Structures are given as structure tokens and as C-alpha cells.
């Protein structure tokens, strides 16, 4: 059996573990040929193939990035995109496809599956907001990096009345902000799940700095928003690919806080370092388990499903159930972040 | 309300996060007084108290060990132990108790709860084998340390026909061995869940070294055992506190492998470094969530229950369901470890 | 003997190792009393003392920040500053003073020594530009953090024609930029030692992206400047305390590069995370050796000197030789950074 | 010009940085062809060549091990070894040779240079005992790993009267033991430079545990020896390749301490994890600088010299000055380790 594999969307640590698992298990157990497509859906549309062998996956388990490359192209959003994909699959005699990606890729995957292609998806996103799975590939590494940054800022934050803002990723959900905020002992976490009231933020800071502290750390998700009807309002600033412009939220917060409190406020935008480098063990394991589960699933004839972690188990969930939903941080975690400030 | 808290059994990274959460939430939200007991159940039996304030929990979130100390004493196994515990609780006017510990502590906790004490337990063990919860405090840090060790040994294992054995903790379950084996790309994982056949191990090594490799890494849990009826047999060697003597399993394996294959075989026993040092973000978060859940639970009047992680959620499970059971590594993970060797 | 100790200027990892060494050696070997001053020279001027005992220095060896606090106040720059310092020293019967700090503190120290105070200084600065010593406390940790950031950005930099700018500290000297650039394999290092020509930067990027690469990483010191007479000019943007405004250099570079090449250019400003967190072993050792050398020196009656690392040895150099000089990156290292791009 | 390069002896992190620098600088600046020899001197004697190109050195800067492989063979100790080396050099038309290695390789290199080969050596050894250079490649990474292990053991060492022995590498010199001991805050460092008196060790432990502590950490170099005429004596136990058998020193110490004090004593032998994994920035930089210096030197016609770090500078020292000498830990560092216990 010839099985195709691609990685779409932004790269995250742990993708290579998944690709390696698909190849090792596919070849070693099932006798499949595994054909990679370069640069995500773009390579699948263009017929840019890389037949994967044991050689390609040597020493990649502990590396960041994706050995297949990736791109922000989605066939379902481009004219003739799906047709080009189908043409490549036919030309290359691909019998099943494994797509590793986030929101956009999962959506495209479900469209391709509807067009009759045998297809299993693997979720990845440092935002961890894919519905239907406890974890997506890349999240654990991102939290580890963000927490280390908060730790470092903690030990150096000794000047009086200084407010340190650390901006992390998280467009629609505040998973990184909430977890790194709890793990790093931040004083305040601003997540998209709980639109904030700048008046309360300012009151909290003033009270804290007056009462017993000389600094505060705020961890803010790039997608955090002011609550409707409160005294601060802003439009989220978007970049060329629809992503939130790094730092735009923090700079607005900084301006507001400095003006209202007079506290010296500093911004650190973690940016790209959150999505690179050596994957944590948890991300390598998740990638490996999802890769094995996906290749086993297409071999059994499954289609239109996504691998998912549920507690200690790896399961399959219908892509149709996943599409269009965002998995938010549970209220209990938001409360823990608040309670331990 | 006066709430007692203790940590029992071996220490692990993440305990201080839990203690901190109990104190912060207990004081800040509920207005409780939190009374620590030094050195686990021993301090509870002896009345060795440490009233905990904000001061004690400053800067402890990211530290290993336990600020309360711990000991291997269990009141249910000692003459008059339970009575001494009850006497201290009465003398100190403790209305509820939070016990953080592993197997032994959870068992003791259930006995103390049966004696009428309001009691909520929090599971910790680097072995991750507590039944009823996806994770116990300390496991994620241990896996991270063990994986780093396997990574390091990988890059240096270049001499021909050398077999590197890395022994990790795991008495009854092979969670660390299996996860660090997958994450580190080990060639062989030996876990208690799947008793091994030394003949097959030797055949595998001979084949691999003849065919295409110059070294192999075996990750072995201290509690790994040969399958019944196979040609290697041994009694597990136990230390003073009933723990497995570090290195005893590895040295037997090494002797057997060297004799049968002639391959130079080296042993690295990770030992104590697996349970110390800075907790990973995951362990800090787990400790924090469990700590908040436990103090909230005793405040609501819950008793005889344990905090547990189930997927994305923290829940409570009856201690009675947990006792005497071991949570084993799922067959799927063992298969992933095998398939990706 | 009563010995005073203070930390001045920005905090860096390794300060606590030095304080600990002064106290342990001072008490244990020489029988001195060690008196700390809070918040640097400010505390010395104001008489804000913290008598240091074994208790204060427990578990601080591996921590960032400074247990004494610090401030940006210098007595030689304030009206009556030196007099206030002398008054406190007399009131507290301090016979010798150990000052740990960077440029400003070393300058102040030399003024105080000239006023007749027995004084030994210890150099710290993540910029590593103190003249007369191979290393200052804090530098090794900063390089480690900056290198890790470059590593992470490397694995994720896969989009086509993207230029990644990483801005690190280094006002007058490019030690962090050059070392992290070499260690991280950056394509271009911009350091104050070698004013850059934007035309050549642009030509280099265009050639590289046309010829064989899809991305470039530029590590830039905050104090990097364009060469006189070249086509890009800017004034360095300074903050309230005279420090360079984080990101100002990078944003100008980004604008210039994007305009002239059309390549998507992204900026990561490491900022405060460079000076916090757990000190590396090298910084703990340097702090410990400098601390012991300083307390031994004041005990012997030395004054007006600074502890310094020269090769494998710790020596003393006259403060008068240090003042007003900047230690630059050797030409050989700049060439290594260039050659290995 | 055709330049050969090899890595000899045990592998250490940072070798690939040196090889990469030789190739990049050799090709890019000087237009040389760089020819690698596989598995150290063995490959040079056998003519096992690997012509090195840009492709071989991609993404190796941050990796451990050596891409050329290594072996414990030395031509000067083998019959006809030097002749075989000369024959290969002639057959491959190699005009100059760069040898990266420790004691044995440096000795062999000096013999080959005496036979008329243009030769520059680069020192590597985690033991850091090569005379003439402040640092050898691999040392900084080893210290970092050893310190992290001591840190971890510190936080978990809470049981009463327990002595933790951590054994690190260091056959003739105690660089790792002393530096990791200082950085990790060990109570006792045993190094080859200062033969120990077990009576004093025992007195120290008894006093400490009686007076104010519940545990002690001893960092011991594998080559530590008892002082002549003291009450403990042992022969160092050697393995097949003349290396000290891991753990042999620690186990003797443990037995002696347990017998004389009754304190529970535990041994952790770091072993192979000290020499593997990702090189620290310092080791990547040292490898890069030494590689550039070596290829520049052979190009200029230098021979019989070794690259060396002296303070902030890279210099060349005659191999003849290096041979047969061991660089010991300075007395001042041993004293710092003792004073801060």
C-alpha cells in the first residue's frame, strides 16, 4: 500500500516524531511505501514528492521543525485546489493519506476525505485548542518554553513598582497563557476565555504594589480581549497570513497600565521561540503514538477520523465532530490561575 | 477551619506546588488555617507541627523536594499509630486532613478516613502507577530526566557492538521505562508489564548488530522480570525499606548479555537523580490543580477521596476504589515502544 | 572584623553565589561579621542593613537575582552621596566593603576607596565588557539563554525568504551577540565592535536567499551601529535610566531590510529573560571564587582592587586600571562569527 | 590544498563544531579540500576516508558525538602504525592533518609530526587536564551535566543521616569533581590532586550530621585516591581499555563510610551521560574557534602545534610542551570547594 503523509500550517516540535512513526510502523509492520509531500498541501497540489525511507528518519526524533517542510496553503481555499490534490494522489497511486496539522489542515483534510480519499488526520498546534483531544502535538514544548521565560523574569523582577508583561501565543484559547501562568506563578493571566476589565486589572495592580509587592508578572495570550462595555477597547491587529501581530496586545496593555498607574511596565514577546527547538518527551511520545495510530488506522480502512488523546488512551474521533470547534481552557484551570496569583 | 497537610513516602518534584496551593487557596479563599506536619505521618503521630503561612510558600513553586519533609513511616503499620494520629489531630484541633503521597500514604489515608477523619488525598509517585488518575505528581519530571539521559547516551554510543543499559525506576509498572524509551528512541524497553524472554532479547541484539547497527540502547525498569519458564531467572533484590536495590536487575542482564553475545555491555543506573530537582511545568500545574481541588473538597465536606486527573479535568475518586490496584502501561504504548525500536 | 557587602546595578544570575561565598568564608574561616546593604548603594547611603547569617544563604547558590536587592543609584553621582556612605560605614563600624557590580558600581567603588574605605570589588555584567577580567558574573548564563533562543528559531525558520532578527543585550560590546551567534550558527552577527554597512547586509541576504537558502538569522547587539558614511543612520534610542530601548535597533533594521529586499522579516527581542533564572555552573563557580577571593583580600588589607579571572586563575587588578575602559570582543572571535556564517 | 581531519579517543560534545569549522573555513576561505578519516587513527591507518562537504556539516553544530566516528587505536602504539598512516596520507595526497583528541591522540600527533607530516592538533577531553590550554572541548558540557545531577540530588536528600556519593569522571585531575562540587554546593569534593584521609572524611561527616545537617553530598572523581599511610587503601580497578571501572572508587568509599559511621550511604555513578548530548554554547564556541585556528594554522604552514585557549585568546602551543604533562586543578579552586562546603 502506498501511503502519503504531509505536515501543514505552522511547524511545531514533535512533527518529526510523528513522521518517523508513520514511516517506521508503515514499512516495518505493514510493508507500506510511505510517500512524503513537501511543504504541506502545496506539495500535494504540485506533486512535490519525497519518498520516505529509514534514512530520512534517522536522528529526527528529538529535533524541532518538520523534515517535510510546511506551508500555509489550503487546497479547499484555492481554485482547483482539491482537484490538483486528487490528481497528484492518482498520479502517485496514493491509496491513503495522513495529514498532520492544525485547524486549517484538519478542515482541508475533512474536505479531501469527503472527496473520497482515505484519510486520517493528526492534530498539532501549540495553542492546544483542537476539539476532541486532550493534547495536540507541540503544546507541551511551548508551555515548557513559556514557563522557563516566566521563571527567568521572576528572579530578575526586583525593581520597585515594575509590571512585567509576557505575551505568549494563543489566538482563540488561552492554554499556554494559563498553564505557563500557573507553572510560573504569575500574578495575572489574561486569556481569550475570560475577557478582561482593565479597571479591575489596574485596581489589582495598585492594591498589590501598595500592600506587599514590588512587582507583578502578567502573562497574556495574544488573543486576550477586553470585555465588552469596559473602558478599554481595541481591534486585534492582524498580519499578512491572518495571524495576530506579535506584541500588539501587550503594547496596548502597557500603555494603558502605565498611564493609569504610573508603574514602569515592560513587555517581553516570546514569539517564535515558542514553536522551535527540541521537543519535550511528552511531545515526542504524543507524536510517536499518533503516528502509529494513524498508519494502523488507514491500514484498517478507517477514514475521515483524527487521532486523539483521551486520558491515557489514544482513540479516533470523526473529523466531522472536530471541525469548527475550539477547545477552551476549563473554568477550573482559569480559577486555579486566579486563586494562586 | 483548621486543615492539616502532610507529604508521605519518597519525595518527588511538584510536592511544594501542591502544598503552596493548599495554603494560598485555603487562606486566601476560604480563610482556613493550614497546619503542616513535618516528615509525613511520623510528624502527625508525634505532633511535630509547622503552621504554614504565606512566608513558607514564597519561591517554592519551582523547587524540588518537600518543604514539610517526609518519612517512610505509616501509622496503619505501626502499633498504636492510628491512635497517635487521632490524638494529634484532636490536640491540634484539626478538622480536615490533606495527605499527599503514593501507594503507602494512600492506604494509610484510607484507614485514617475510616476512623472518622475528614480526609482528601493527593497522588504522587514518579512511577505513575496509582490507579484512578492519568497522572501522579512527579512522573513528568522523572520522564524528562530519564529521556535526557537516553538522549545523551545515544549521541555517545558509537563504539562497535556496545550495548548500553539504562535502568530507571518503576517497581510494579513500567511507565518511566516505556515513555523514556519511546521519547529517547531506545531499541528495547523492558517493563514489568511484559516479562521478557532473554533468548529473544539476545536474538534481537545479535540480529541488529549483525545487520545494520553498531550499538543498542535498552531501557529497563528496575521491576522488569523474566517471563516464567524462560532461561533466565532471578529474585528481585530488596533493600532495607523494601525498595528494589538499584542496579541489581541491570547487572544481571549485563552478565547474561555479555556471556551470550560477547558484546561489551555498559550499565547506567539513573537512581536518585530521577526524583529531584526543578519540577517540569506539567508537575507544577498538576500539583497546583490538585492542591486547589483538595482544599476545596475538604471545605465542601468531602472525605475518603483522592484528586485525580482525567483527560483535561480534575475529578475526585473514592480512595476505596484506588487501594490495592496498580495502573499499568496500556498495551498500545508498549506496542509503540516495540514498533519504533 | 565587620565587612559590608552590596550588589549594585542590574541583577544577573550568579550574584547570590558571590554573596554566599563572602558570608561562608568570612564567617567560617576568618570569623568576620558580614553586613549586607539592601538595594545597592542606596541602602549603604540610607543605612538599610541586613546582617547576613548562614540562614540567609541557604539554598541560594542556584538561584537568580540578588538576595540583597539592587538599585540604579550611585553615590558619586548624587549630592552628598559619598558622605552618606561614609556616615553609614562609621555608624555600622564597617571596616571593609565588598561591592559587586558593573561599570557604574566599579566607578563608585573606586571613588569610595579613594575616600579611604578599604574596598574590594567584584565584576558582574551580562555584557562581559569589564576591562581586566576574562569573565564577569552573569555572562555565561546570558549566552546560554541567547543561544537556546537562536537554536529554537533555527529549527522553525522554514518559510521562504524569511529573515529572523534576534536582538540581544550588549551596549558597548558585542559579547553576547558574537558568542550566541557562533554557538547558534547565525548567518550574521552585528556587534558594536564592527559598525555595519546596511548595503553589504542587504547584498549578503539577497545572495544567500537566491543561491541556496530560504532563511537567515541575524543576531544583533542592542548597541550595534551603522558605519559612518553608510546609507543607514540612526540615533540610539535611550530609556529613562540611560539604557537602550529594547527593540529599537531591530525595528529599524527590519524596516530597512524589508524595504530593500522584500523578504518577510521578524524580530525577537530577548530582553529581560537574558538576565534571570538559574545561573549556569560557570557563573556559580565564578561567583564563588570571586567571593572567596574578595573576602580573603579585604582580610589581608587589600583595597582599591577588583577580583578578576585570568585564564585558570583568579587575580586582583587595581580598580584604577579598570575604570573608563571597555573590554571588546577580540577580532579573532568576530572573524570566527563571520567565517562560519 | 588537501587537508585531513580526524577525531580520536572518547567522543565528547563539541567535536562536530570543530569539524564543521575546519570544513567551512577550509573550503570557504582557503579553497581547501577537507578529507575526513573515519574512526580516528584507525581510519587513517586503514585508508577509510570520508571527503567532507557542506552537506556533511549541516545541522551538526548543536549535536553531540562525532560525525567522523572515533576509536581507541593509536598508531604509535601499534606495529607499523606510523608507516600505515604515512602511506594513507601519501595515497590520498594529504598535505596537512588536523587531529582532534585527548592525551593519547596528542601524543600520537606529535609522533606523526616528527615523521614530517604537517600537523595541528585540537585538544578535547571532558577531564580538562590537557596542559597548555585553559579549556579542552567537552569539559564545559560535562560540568553542566554533573552540576545538574548534584542539584537534583540536593533537593531530594532529606532522609536523616544519609550520605550521597556522586562519582564523576576525572582520572588524573579532578576538574569535573571540583567545579561540579562548587557549583552544586557539595559538602565534600574528593579529587586526585588532594589524596584524602578517610579518617578525616569520617570525622567531618559525623560532626556535620551531629551538629546541624541530615545529609551530605560527596562528589568524587573516579581517580581520587587515599593519601599514603592512611587507614584506607585500594588499587584503582581498570577496565579493558585502561579506563577506571565506573563505580569502583565509590563503592569502596561507601563500604568504608557505612561501616564507620552507620550512615545510610548511596552511590550515583554518572558514567556515560557526562560525555553525550547537546554541547553547551561554551563547547560549541571553543570547538568553532579551535577549528578555525587549526585550519588557518596549517594553511600558514604551522606544524607540531596545538590550539589553546588562554584567557580570551586562542593561541598555538608546541605539542612538545604539552606531551606527558597533566594540568591540575589550581590550589585556589580546591580551597574554594573546601571553604564553601
Q: A291 vs chain C: nearest CA distance in angstroms?
A: 21
Nearest C-alpha in C relative to A271: C268
Q: Is the pLDDT of residue B101 over 90?
A: yes
Query: Neighbours of A (≥3 Cβ pairs closer than 8 A)?
Result: B, C
A151 touches C: beta carbon within 8 Å: yes
Across the interface, whether the CB atoms of D312 and C289 are under 8 A apart is answered: no
Residue pair A138/A12 in contact by the 8 Å Cβ criterion: yes
CA gap A28, A24 in Å, rounded: 6
**In the beta sheet, which residues pair with residue A4?**
A35, A97
Residue of B62, B312, B332 lying closest to A151 (CB–CB): B62
Nearest alpha carbon to residue B266 among B181, B179, B100, B153 = B153
Q: Which residues of A touch C161 (CB under 8 A)?
A: none
Could you give the percent of chain A with pLDDT greater than 70? 99
CA gap B274, D149 in Å, rounded: 9
Q: What is the mean pLDDT of residues C250-262?
A: 94
Residue of B155, B266, B268 lying closest to D64 (CB–CB): B155
Across the interface, whether the CB atoms of D182 and C288 are under 8 A apart is answered: yes
SS3 B287: helix
pLDDT at C211: 77
Residue pair D69/D39 in contact by the 8 Å Cβ criterion: yes
Task: Write the pLDDT tens digit of every residue in A248-263.
Answer: 899 999 999 999 999 9
Q: D116 vs chain B: nearest CA distance in angstroms?
A: 31
pLDDT band at B331, cuts 50/70/90?
very high
Q: What is the mean pLDDT of residues A38-45?
A: 94
Residue C53: CB atoms within 10 A of its CB come to 12
Q: Which residues of A touch C272 (CB under 8 A)?
A: 152-153, 156-157, 164, 266, 268
Residue of B152, B246, B269 lying closest to D276 (CB–CB): B152
Nearest alpha carbon to residue C243 among C104, C76, C41, C135 = C104
Q: Which fold has domain A141-275?
A: Rossmann fold (3.40.50)
Instruction: Mark which residues 48-87 of C lie under 8 Å from A by CB.
Output: 63-66, 69-71
Across the interface, whether the CB atoms of C20 and D280 are under 8 A apart is answered: no
Residue D300 marked as a ligand binder = no
CA gap D61, A195 in Å, rounded: 45
CA gap B125, B15 in Å, rounded: 10
Across the interface, whether the CB atoms of C185 and D62 are under 8 A apart is answered: yes
Locate D222 and state its grid cell.
573516579
Residue of A140, A284, A310 lying closest to B311 (CB–CB): A310
Across the interface, whether the CB atoms of C182 and D335 are under 8 A apart is answered: no
CA gap C172, B213 in Å, rounded: 51
pLDDT at B247: 87
Task: Write the pLDDT tens digit of every residue in A225-284.
Answer: 999 888 777 777 787 767 888 888 999 999 999 999 999 899 999 999 999 999 999 999
Which of the following is catalytic: A11, A79, A83, A127?
A: A127
Q: What is the mean pLDDT of residues D208-234?
A: 87
Task: Show the DSSP H helices in chain C as ranges.
Answer: 15-28, 41-46, 81-91, 103-114, 139-156, 175-184, 198-211, 248-261, 281-300, 319-322, 331-339
Residue C101: C-alpha distances to residues B254, C16, C108, C128, C255 (Å): 53, 12, 10, 12, 36
pLDDT at D137: 98
| Sheet with A215-221, edge to edge strand ranges | A188-190, A215-221, A162-168, A265-269
Q: Catalytic: B127?
A: yes
Q: Is the pLDDT of residue C160 over 70?
A: no
Instruction: Mark which residues 286-315 of A lie under 8 Å from B by CB.
Output: 288-289, 292-293, 310-314
Could you give the percent of chain A with pLDDT greater than 90? 82
Residue pair C219/C186 in contact by the 8 Å Cβ criterion: yes
Residue B187: DSSP 8-state: S
Q: Is the pLDDT of residue D330 over 90?
A: yes
Locate the domains of chain C by residue range: 2-138+279-322, 140-275
pLDDT at D158: 66
Task: Show the DSSP H helices in chain B as ranges.
Answer: 15-28, 41-46, 81-91, 103-114, 139-156, 175-184, 198-211, 248-261, 281-300, 319-322, 331-339
pLDDT at C159: 63
Q: What is the mean pLDDT of residues D205-222?
A: 90
Q: Which residue is it, cell 573576602?
A: C295
CA gap B302, C237 in Å, rounded: 59
Residue ranges for the known binding site of A are 10, 72-73, 102-105, 125-127, 162, 169-171, 222, 266, 272-275
Residue of C154, C269, C277 lying closest to A155 (CB–CB): C277
Pseudo-torsion of CA A171, A174, A179, A185, nearest 10°?
100
Q: B160 vs chain D: nearest CA distance in angstroms?
A: 9
Residue B262: CB atoms within 10 A of its CB come to 10
Across the interface, whether the CB atoms of A143 and B20 are under 8 A apart is answered: no
Task: Write the pLDDT tens digit of every residue in C271-288.
Answer: 999 999 999 999 999 999
CA gap A275, A243 in Å, rounded: 14
Q: Which residues of B touch D60 (CB under 8 A)?
A: none
pLDDT band at A14, cuts 50/70/90?
very high
Averaged pLDDT of chain C = 93
Q: Which residues of C touch A152 (CB under 8 A)?
A: 64, 145, 272-273, 275-277
Residue pair C65/A155 in contact by the 8 Å Cβ criterion: yes
Q: What is the ipTM of this complex?
A: 0.95
Locate D117 and state its grid cell.
607530516
Q: What is the mean pLDDT of residues C190-199?
A: 95
Nearest alpha carbon to residue B130 among B337, B324, B297 = B324
Residue D134: DSSP 8-state: S
**In the beta sheet, which residues pair with residue B266?**
B164
Q: Is the pLDDT of residue B339 over 70?
A: yes
Q: What is the pTM of this model?
A: 0.95
Q: Which fold has domain D142-276?
A: Rossmann fold (3.40.50)
Q: Which residues of D touch C147 (CB under 8 A)?
A: 281, 284
Nearest C-alpha in B relative to D141: B152
Q: Is the pLDDT of residue A160 over 80?
A: no
Q: B123 vs chain D: nearest CA distance in angstroms?
A: 18
Substitution target in A7, A157, A158 with the highest count of C β-carbons within 10 Å is A158
* A2-138+279-322 and A141-275 share one fold: yes
Residue B266 marked as a ligand binder = yes
A245 touches C: beta carbon within 8 Å: no
Name the packing angle between helices A15-28 and A281-300 (round to 10°). Answer: 40
Residue B103 marked as a ligand binder = yes
Nearest alpha carbon to residue D17 among D4, D5, D29 = D5
Residue pair B99/B73 in contact by the 8 Å Cβ criterion: no
Across the interface, whether the CB atoms of C276 and A152 are under 8 A apart is answered: yes
D211 touches C: beta carbon within 8 Å: no
pLDDT at B158: 65
pLDDT at B197: 94
Task: Write the pLDDT tens digit of every residue in B139-177.
Answer: 999 999 999 999 999 887 766 678 999 999 999 999 999
**In the beta sheet, which residues pair with residue B265?**
B163
Task: Show the DSSP H helices in chain A as ranges.
Answer: 15-28, 41-46, 81-91, 103-114, 139-156, 175-184, 198-211, 248-261, 281-300, 319-322, 331-339
Nearest C-alpha in C relative to D289: C336
Q: Is the pLDDT of residue C213 over 90?
A: no
C153 touches A: beta carbon within 8 Å: yes
Q: Which residues of A touch C156 (CB under 8 A)?
A: 11, 64-65, 272, 275-277
Catalytic residue list of C: 127
Q: What is the mean pLDDT of residues A102-119?
A: 94
Across the interface, whether the CB atoms of C155 and A65 are under 8 A apart is answered: yes
Task: Write the pLDDT tens digit of every residue in B273-283.
Answer: 999 999 999 99
Across the interface, whether the CB atoms of D152 and B63 are under 8 A apart is answered: no
Superfamily of domain covering C140-275: Phosphofructokinase domain (3.40.50.460)
Task: Write the pLDDT tens digit of every residue in C73-115.
Answer: 899 888 888 999 999 999 999 999 999 999 999 999 999 999 9
Nearest alpha carbon to residue B239 among B228, B248, B250 = B248
Nearest alpha carbon to residue B125 among B99, B109, B98, B101 = B101
Residue D133: DSSP 8-state: -
Which of the following is catalytic: B46, B83, B127, B197?
A: B127
Q: C10 vs chain A: nearest CA distance in angstroms?
A: 9
Q: What is the mean pLDDT of residues B11-35?
A: 96
Handedness of CA B142, B148, B150, B153 (dihedral sign): negative
- φ and ψ of D309, to 5 deg: -95, 130
SS3 B88: helix
CA gap B332, B339 in Å, rounded: 10
> How many beta-carbon contacts under 8 Å exist across B and D?
96
Locate C268 and state its grid cell.
525577537
Task: Write the pLDDT tens digit of every residue in D5-57.
Answer: 999 988 999 999 999 999 999 999 999 999 999 999 999 999 999 999 988 99
Across the interface, whether the CB atoms of B272 and D264 are under 8 A apart is answered: no
Averaged pLDDT of chain A = 93
Task: Write the pLDDT tens digit of every residue in B203-231.
Answer: 999 999 887 778 899 999 999 999 988 87
Architecture (CATH level 2) of domain A2-138+279-322: 3-Layer(aba) Sandwich (3.40)
Amino acid at each position: 500500500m502506498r501511503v502519503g503523509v504531509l505536515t501543514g500550517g505552522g511547524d511545531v516540535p514533535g512533527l518529526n516524531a510523528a513522521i518517523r512513526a508513520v514511516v517506521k510502523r508503515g514499512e516495518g509492520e505493514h510493508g507500506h511505501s510511505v510517500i512524503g509531500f513537501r511543504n504541506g498541501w502545496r506539495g500535494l497540489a504540485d506533486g512535490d514528492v519525497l519518498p520516505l525511507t529509514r534514512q530520512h528518519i534517522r536522528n529526527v526524533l528529538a529535533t524541532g521543525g518538520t523534515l517535510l517542510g510546511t506551508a500555509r496553503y489550503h487546497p479547499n481555499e484555492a481554485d482547483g485546489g482539491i482537484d490538483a490534490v486528487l490528481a497528484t494522489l492518482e498520479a502517485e497511486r496514493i491509496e491513503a493519506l495522513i495529514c498532520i496539522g492544525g485547524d486549517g489542515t484538519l478542515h482541508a483534510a475533512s474536505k479531501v476525505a469527503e472527496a473520497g480519499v482515505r484519510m486520517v488526520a493528526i492534530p498539532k498546534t501549540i495553542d492546544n485548542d483542537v476539539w476532541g483531544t486532550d493534547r495536540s502535538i507541540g503544546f507541551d514544548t511551548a508551555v515548557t518554553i513559556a514557563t522557563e521565560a516566566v521563571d527567568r523574569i521572576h528572579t530578575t523582577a526586583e525593581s520597585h513598582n515594575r509590571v512585567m508583561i509576557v505575551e505568549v501565543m494563543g489566538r482563540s484559547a488561552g492554554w499556554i497563557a494559563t498553564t505557563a501562568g500557573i507553572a510560573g506563578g504569575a500574578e495575572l493571566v489574561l486569556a481569550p476565555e475570560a475577557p478582561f476589565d482593565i479597571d479591575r486589572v489596574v485596581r489589582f495592580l495598585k492594591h498589590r504594589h501598595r500592600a506587599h509587592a514590588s512587582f507583578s508578572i502578567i502573562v497574556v495570550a495574544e488573543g486576550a480581549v477586553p470585555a465588552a462595555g469596559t473602558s478599554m477597547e481595541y481591534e486585534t491587529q492582524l498580519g499578512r497570513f491572518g495571524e495576530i501581530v506579535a506584541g500588539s496586545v501587550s503594547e496596548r496593555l502597557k500603555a494603558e497600565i502605565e498611564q493609569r498607574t504610573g508603574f514602569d511596565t515592560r513587555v517581553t514577546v516570546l514569539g517564535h521561540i515558542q514553536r522551535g527547538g527540541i521537543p519535550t518527551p511528552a511531545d515526542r511520545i504524543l507524536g510517536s503514538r499518533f503516528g502509529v495510530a494513524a498508519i494502523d488506522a488507514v491500514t484498517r480502512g478507517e477514514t475521515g477520523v483524527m487521532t486523539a488523546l483521551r486520558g491515557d488512551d489514544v482513540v479516533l474521533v470523526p473529523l466531522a465532530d472536530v471541525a469548527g470547534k475550539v477547545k477552551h481552557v476549563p473554568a477550573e484551570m482559569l480559577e486555579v490561575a486566579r486563586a494562586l496569583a
